[in-house]
Amino acid sequence: MTDEDVRRGVEDERERFRREVERKERRWRRAREMGDRTLRHGLRAFGSIGWSIVIPTLLGIAFGGWLDRRFGGGLRYTLSFMVAGLIIGFANAWKWMQSED
């Protein structure tokens, strides 16, 4: 390893550190602008995420059950639409969590 390689490595590390500090500072400023984040806020957010998963899942089960009764598919449609509802619910929750960060 040459001195130039070492110097480049140190400069890269300093740049990464600078970006991390800037990111944390932006996050800290945004938190101060948004106000106090209490336990109540956290529980409300947790509940919202839970319901964003539960509602599409239950809708999928209901719709799949209706299709199974109508067309006689056993549990094929119910399970298929339950999984689709879970996927949609988790995608909604993920999207919401990413927008909060």
Q: What is the pLDDT of residue 101?
A: 54
Indicate the pTM of the whole model.
0.57
Same domain, 57 and 74: yes
pLDDT on residue 96: 82
Co-location of 25 and 52 in the same domain: no
- Say which residue, 31 or 11, is predicted with more confidence: 11
Q: Are 8 and 20 found together in one domain?
A: yes
**Domain shared by 71 and 95, yes or no:** yes
8 plus 53 within the same structural domain = no
64 and 18 housed in the same domain? no
Q: Please give the residue range of the domain that contains residue 5.
A: 1-35
Same domain for 65 and 28: no
Q: What's the half-sphere exposure (Cβ side, CA atoms, 13 Å) at 6?
A: 3
Which pair of tokens denotes residue 81?
């639409």
DSSP character at residue 38: -
pLDDT band for 16, please (50, 70, 90 cuts). very high
**Better pLDDT: 46 or 61:** 61
| Tally of domains in the chain | 2
